[in-house]
Structures are given as structure tokens and as C-alpha cells.
Amino acid sequence: MLNIGNTKDYKTHQELVDILKNRRLIIEDEQAVLDYFKCVNYYRFSAYTLTLRKDDVFYPNVTFENVCDLYGFDYGFRKIIYAYSAYVEIALRSTVSLFHAGKYGALGYLDAKNFHNPMYHARFLTALDGELDRSDDAFVHHHIQDLGSVFPLWVAVEASSFGVLSMMFKNMHNNDKNDIVKQRFRFGRKYIENWLQCCVYARNIAAHGGRFYNRDLRSCPVKLPKKHQSTIVPTKAFAFIYAIFHLLPAEEIRKNFIVEIENLFRAHPFAMLKHVGFPSNWSDYLK
């Protein structure tokens, strides 16, 4: 039997506005707030008020527009995470397929002996097969019509998700991963493995409209170099920015990444660095 516990009563939009006013949030245009709640769920909105109130009472001079500014900041933050994770994903597809097919052949990814853990390899193939079956990409259908349903690695990775691609990389032999890491990155294999998982995790949060502001991302904490362990919180948003930055494939892309984040903070002055785990000199960490 379903236990409904202490479920709160349904509230109309007007009742929600009245609650905010009773909690001393400054609202100058009630109709604008009512219209806003037609587009944004109150429960989602209320998460951005947590740093602006104590014991359900807003701090003095906090306005509805201030909360909207935090919401807008987080929206922009998600867009940056999503866009720059794509650079990481596309570069990883190219790097992994070129290396693995060059060493083991076009179909070497199908052979468990070319990977560390046979059971994990089987899970990877099952996930990859599912994505290939669901794919509506023209190049996949073209390949099936002309060459059959066995895909060379460079075709298979283009139809796979970032998560499945990350699974493949994680299960490659350590020597193979080390070779790739030495070619592409400035940090060691264990960092890159973790950062790829964290990049996938952050990208999925961004893709599904999740929140980064004032949130601990404990499902996938970022592995940090010893010199930063006392100044970067591994479960806060900045740690994921740090990881993504060091996975980006080109200097120009990394520079643009920093500029976009700087512009986002300028555009949303009510957003505070500490609530996304950013040190005051955060750009110095991205070098």
C-alpha cells in the first residue's frame, strides 16, 4: 500500500505568491510572478531561494528578481556545461576509435581480450547494440544497407552515447589508456578516467535541466590533484568545471570556456562564487 506520509496540500499559484510575500520576499508585480509560475514549477524555483532565506524568512531587501537572476545564472551555467562537454565527447570519439582500431583492427572492439574486464566488456557491447538499434542517423542506415550490421569502430562510436564511449575507455587495457593519455592530456590516467565520468555526469545534469547552483554533486566527486584538494570542493560545480577544462581538446576552446564563464557571472551579479564552489581566483586554477 502506498504510504503518502505528510504530503503537502495543493496550492494555487496565487497561494504560492502569498506564501512568498508572507516570507518577506519583495514582489512588486504579482501578475508577473503568476505568469512566471506558468512556465517554471514553483518547486524548481524555490530551490534557488535556499541561500536567500533563514527559517523560511527571506533576508532583507531580497526581491523576486534576485531569485530569477540565480535561476538565469544556472540556466546559462547548464548551457556552458552542455556545450563544452560536447567538445570533450567528440574529441574522445576520434581519439579512441583511431587508437583502438589502429592497434586491434576495425572490429577489435568486439573482442573481450582487447579489454581489461570481460564482464564489463559484455555490458558495453549490450549498451552499444541498443544504441545502434535505436539510432536514426542516416550514416548508420547507410552502412547497414551497403555493408551489413557489423560496424567498424569508427562508425560504432559515432552512434554511441557519451556514457557508453566512457565505458569503453574505462575498460581498455591500462597500457592502452596510458598511451592515449600521454598523447592527449597533461594529467595521468586515473585523473582522466574520473574526469570523463564526471563530465558525462555533469553533461547529463545539464541536459535534463538539473541544478548546479548551491548543490553537492556527490554521485560522482571529482578526483583532484593534491595541490588543489584543500581549496576545491570535489562535489561542487567548480570541480566539474576544472575537470572539463582539462579534458578540452584545444587551447582556443579552453580560452573561450573561461571567457563564457566570466561573462555569465557578469550577466548575473546576484550569483555568488561560493555557491558553485568557485574560489575567488578561480581562473588561475584553469591553466
List Cα–Cα distances, 270 to 49, 56, 213, 241, in angstroms.
Answer: 12, 20, 12, 20
User: In this structure, are 139 and 179 located in the same domain?
Assistant: yes
User: In this structure, are 202 and 176 located in the same domain?
Assistant: yes
Q: Phi, psi at residue 169, to the nearest 5°?
A: -60, -45
On whether residue 123 sits in a domain, the answer given is yes
On whether residue 252 sits in a domain, the answer given is yes
Q: CA–CA separation, 75 vs 44, rounded Å? A: 12
Alpha-helical (H) ranges within 48-117 are 64-104
User: In this structure, are 45 and 156 located in the same domain?
Assistant: no
- Chain-centroid distance, C-alpha 260: 16
Q: CB under 8 Å to 182, separation ≥6 — which residues?
A: none
User: In this structure, are 154 and 200 located in the same domain?
Assistant: yes
On whether residue 67 sits in a domain, the answer given is no
On whether residue 156 sits in a domain, the answer given is yes
User: In this structure, are 214 and 255 located in the same domain?
Assistant: yes
Domain count for the chain:
2
The three grid cell numbers given for residue 8, joined into one nine-digit string? 503537502
List Cα–Cα distances, 15 to 34, 45, 48, 61, in angstroms.
Answer: 10, 15, 19, 22
Look up the domain containing 113 and give its range. 72-285
pLDDT, one tens digit per residue, over 177-193 is 999 999 999 999 999 99
Q: CA–CA separation, 211 vs 44, rounded Å? A: 9
User: In this structure, are 17 and 97 located in the same domain?
Assistant: no
Q: What is the pLDDT along the chain (287 residues), one digit of tens a residue?
A: 555 556 678 889 999 999 999 999 999 999 999 999 999 999 999 999 999 999 999 999 999 999 999 999 999 999 999 999 999 999 999 999 999 999 999 999 999 999 999 999 999 999 998 988 877 666 666 656 555 567 899 989 988 899 999 999 999 999 999 999 999 999 999 999 999 999 999 999 999 999 999 999 999 999 999 999 999 999 999 999 999 999 999 999 999 999 999 999 999 999 999 999 999 999 999 98
User: In this structure, are 195 and 107 located in the same domain?
Assistant: yes
Q: Phi, psi at residue 85, to the nearest 5°?
A: -65, -30
The pTM of this model reads: 0.92
Neighbours of 268 (CB within 10 A): 19
User: In this structure, are 158 and 243 located in the same domain?
Assistant: yes
On whether residue 125 sits in a domain, the answer given is yes
User: In this structure, are 280 and 138 located in the same domain?
Assistant: yes
Q: CA–CA separation, 114 vs 121, rounded Å? A: 9
